[in-house]
Amino acid sequence: MFRSLGKSKIAFVLAILFGISLFFFKGGSRYSNLFNSDTVVATVSGTPISTSKFNRTMQMNINKFNQMLGKPITGDEIRSFQIHSLSLEALINDAVFENEYDSIKLIIDESVIAQKTKERIPQLYDKNNKLNETYLNTFLKQQQLKIEDIVQIINFETRDEFVNNALFNINYPQYFSSKIDNYNNHSRKISYIEFLLEEVNIENDIQKYALNMKEELEKYYENNINQYMSKENRNVEYIIFNKKKYANNFVPTNFEIKEYFNANKELYYQKEKRSFIQFNFKKLEEAKNFKSKIQNFINPSDILKFAEENNIRFSEFENLIADEMLEEISKPLFELNQNQQSKIIETSIAKHIIILQSIEPERQLKFDEVKENIKNTITAIELNNYFTDIKNQASEKILNGKSLSEIANDFNLTISLINNITQDYDQYDQSEEIIISSLIPAAFGSNKDFVSDVIDINNDYAYIFNVKKITPSTPLDITSIQEILLNDWKKSKKIETINSDVKINKDNNNFFSQLLSTYQLQPKELIINNNFNELPRSFIVEVLEGEKGQNIQYIDNNLVHIAKIIDITIPDEKNDNISISMADDLRGSFGGELYKNKNMSTNDSLINAIIQQY
């Protein structure tokens, strides 16, 4: 029924894992890309961060936010919480270390990687210790990963665990830990104002340069010439491989579906599910107060009624398995009896109390319950293998020097052409966005008349392109951008003015009052701590690092933020139970030094296209 894995990349990687001798090509990136054709969202000195890993990390973070907030978050909230940035930052941090491990030749024996793979994914092998290809394909589909990602993750984490234990596994002394904890929980009282950058007065500068403004603008133009260039444009032709086009060729028969079910019943064994109510509190005292008032309630409906009457937030979750929630929640939840209340649970953003409503025991699912799912699984496995075969065939044709036209004819595909495309090109339908957003950076990183490798956009689409013509970027005629140039010059002078004024008057007690008078503003009194998120994070960091009485400024786009630090409150509590690890600080410092010597690039167009899908 299933196509042999021997023709796919899976066979190569697993063979490498288990020490099988393979013939390796030596001859440049074209050959290596046979094993790594996935589109990357970023690279760190050549170490790639694949789209599939980014998508999976994004989804894991989204699931965590869903759990912590007690509701599915929207696409706007994903962008507002900067989940994509958090995901990319985590992957880049790992890639910095991974690249360094590769550079210093910190190598883990293949047998160790194989053993770690077995420990992490024991179901990958049957009772005879043979690779379960069916489970492997199902696992990769569920995790939204490629086999190369699994190998890379386990290889990196094994090396990383060794380095962390050898170098960074150190705690601060107890006295310091208590002091650090107090400082981390300190707060600051500030007076705060904000105003538009355009309100900053630069009349003195304008008068100063009035007689030689032409020369001043020319100087500004020369110093910032990269801002005033025409757009490079290119003519690009490409063909698209669409996996969905072949889907109907791989729908299994009822007999094949039944055969699959009987051979893989362990895949359709449903883990225990639990339904529960989750109450969320910002402060520990609020949670303790609520807990004391409901501890004698027996019926959950009475607790819900009490919560609604007192405007206490709660969420209801139905039929979740342990893997679908935070470990801090799942562990106590699965120790509860029906209708039992938990103790107060503390997570990174809130305090929680949960009440178990019902339990659905683990059981073997019936064939009729999973028939459609099996049908889709078999279709996906067969289709994925076929799609991989097609892309590998296309890669071979590229290596053999075939033109884009010849490859299109071989696969009965149509060549598309875009003329005069620029890096900010947006003249396309929404349905084309994910393709064009990947094509643009790839095309602008390619040479003319060079057929690209096969580039994966996602699991369903891939493409090959060729740049037919390049019109380079040139400096714009200064006479055609006089108004733009003058406005940019004025903006730069406004920024210089406010930065200079605050720097000179950083410790001037009267400066903040002068700003109130100049801009006719009323200040806000705010209490700032590490959890404050109503102002730009960079500005908050500056405030938390400043001294009492100092004036702090930050310019965010066209908005100027100014704060005067009125008071600093640091708790004076001795906590002998606090133990703070130095691992993050040591690793952060070490990683910061590594980062200085790494070259990082991100595929912003592709990242934006991925984010737009949510």
**pLDDT given at position 362:** 92
How many helices (H) and strands (E) the chain has is answered by 23, 17
Give the residue-averaged pLDDT of 185-196.
94
19 pLDDT tier (thresholds 50, 70, 90): very low
For residue 107, give the amino acid letter. I
**pLDDT given at position 68:** 67
pLDDT per position as a tens digit, 38-70: 468 889 998 988 887 888 888 888 877 776 666
User: Residues near 527 by Cβ (< 8 Å), separated by ≥ 6?
Assistant: 187, 188, 189
**pLDDT given at position 509:** 92
612 pLDDT tier (thresholds 50, 70, 90): low
* Cα-to-chain-centroid distance, residue 220: 38
Both tokens of residue 9? 């990349």
φ and ψ at 115, to 5 degrees? -65, -45
Render 354-386 in DSSP notation, one character per residue: EEEEEEE--EEPPHHHHHHHHHHHHHHHHHHHH
pLDDT per position as a tens digit, 88-113: 888 998 999 999 999 999 988 888 88
d(CA 119, CA 359): 29
Which secondary structure element, helix H or strand E, spans residue 589, and what is its range?
helix 583-596
* Residue 262, pLDDT above cutoff 80: yes
For residue 51, give the amino acid letter. T
pLDDT per position as a tens digit, 202-237: 998 889 888 899 999 999 999 999 889 999 999 999
**pLDDT given at position 70:** 66
Burial of 166 per CB tally in 10 Å (0-12, 13-18, 19+): exposed
Give the residue-averaged pLDDT of 359-373.
92
Q: Which of the two residues, 525 and 209, has the higher pLDDT score?
A: 525
DSSP code of 38?
B
Across 9-13, 188-192, 609-613, which has the greatest mean pLDDT?
188-192
User: Which one, of 195, 196, 99, lies nearest residue 152 by Cα?
Assistant: 99
User: Which one, of 304, 345, 342, 353, lies nearest residue 327 by Cα?
Assistant: 345
Both tokens of residue 131? 């690779």
Both tokens of residue 257? 């579906």
Least reliable range by pLDDT among 70-84, 136-150, 224-238, 499-513: 136-150
d(CA 561, CA 550): 14
Burial of 432 per CB tally in 10 Å (0-12, 13-18, 19+): middle
Burial of 552 per CB tally in 10 Å (0-12, 13-18, 19+): buried
518 pLDDT tier (thresholds 50, 70, 90): very high
User: Residues near 26 by Cβ (< 8 Å), separated by ≥ 6?
Assistant: none
* Residue 32, pLDDT above cutoff 60: no
**pLDDT given at position 370:** 92
182 pLDDT tier (thresholds 50, 70, 90): confident
21 pLDDT tier (thresholds 50, 70, 90): very low
**pLDDT given at position 13:** 39
**pLDDT given at position 416:** 94
613 pLDDT tier (thresholds 50, 70, 90): low
Across 166-180, 494-508, 562-576, which has the greatest mean pLDDT?
494-508
d(CA 561, CA 192): 8
Residue with tokens 């001037």: 508
Render 253-265 in DSSP notation, one character per residue: PHHHHHHHHHH-G
User: Which one, of 31, 10, 32, 33, lies nearest residue 20 by Cα?
Assistant: 10
φ and ψ at 26, to 5 degrees? -135, 110
CB 325 within 8 Å of CB 274: no
**pLDDT given at position 314:** 86
Average pLDDT, the chain: 84
With both helix axes pointing from N to C terminus, report the angle between 110-120 and 9-17 in degrees, rounded to the nearest 10.
Answer: 110
CB 436 within 8 Å of CB 419: no
* Residue 6, pLDDT above cutoff 60: no
To the nearest whole percent, how much of the chain has pLDDT over 90?
Answer: 41
d(CA 384, CA 389): 9
CB 466 within 8 Å of CB 401: no
**pLDDT given at position 34:** 28
Report, in this order, helix, strand and coil percent for the chain, each rounded to 5.
50, 20, 30
15 pLDDT tier (thresholds 50, 70, 90): very low
**pLDDT given at position 36:** 35
Render 100-155 in DSSP notation, one character per residue: HHHHTT----HHHHHHHHHHH-GGGB-TTS-B-HHHHHHHHHHHT--HHHHHHHHH
CB 251 within 8 Å of CB 375: yes
